[in-house]
Amino acid sequence: MIKAINVIANRQSLVFCKALLWAVPLLFCFYGVSHAGDAATGQLIAQKWCASCHLVGRSGRAIDAAPSFHMIANNPKYTEARLRGWLYDPHPPMPNLDLTKRQVDDIITYIGSLKQKP
């Protein structure tokens, strides 16, 4: 009886392991797919959430000491990874906006659209 239970348990473990071997690579494939971002949507989000401190367009005036989006776009130290980290985990005085991944992608794409062409 105990031997039969062990055989069943081993078969279940084997089935689980096989399923896991298929599932894990698929998860990495889907996790790695990123939304390309939409600059127009990013501009709308920025105007709604960021314009109270940052200058988000090409003209106007920023409030506070917050850098303009144009300056951010053209400063090489503001990499996509750095912007993404800042938007996901902002530090004071910037508020936590609790943005979705898609919103972050859209804002970063918008900022990238402000980069001056050489």
Q: Tens digits of per-residue pLDDT, 70-95?
A: 999 999 999 999 999 999 998 888 88
Predicted confidence (pLDDT) at residue 118 exceeds the cutoff of 80: no
| Whole-structure pTM value | 0.67
Instruction: Average the pLDDT over each of 5-9, 47-51, 92-96 and give the range with the smallest value.
Output: 5-9
Question: Which is nearest to 42 in space by CA: 78, 84, 77?
Answer: 84
Handedness of CA 107, 76, 61, 90 (dihedral sign): positive
pLDDT band, residue 2 (cuts 50/70/90): low
Rounded-to-integer distance, Cα 27 and Cα 49, Å: 32
- List % helix, strand, coil for the chain (3-state, nearest 5): 60, 0, 40
pLDDT band, residue 25 (cuts 50/70/90): very low
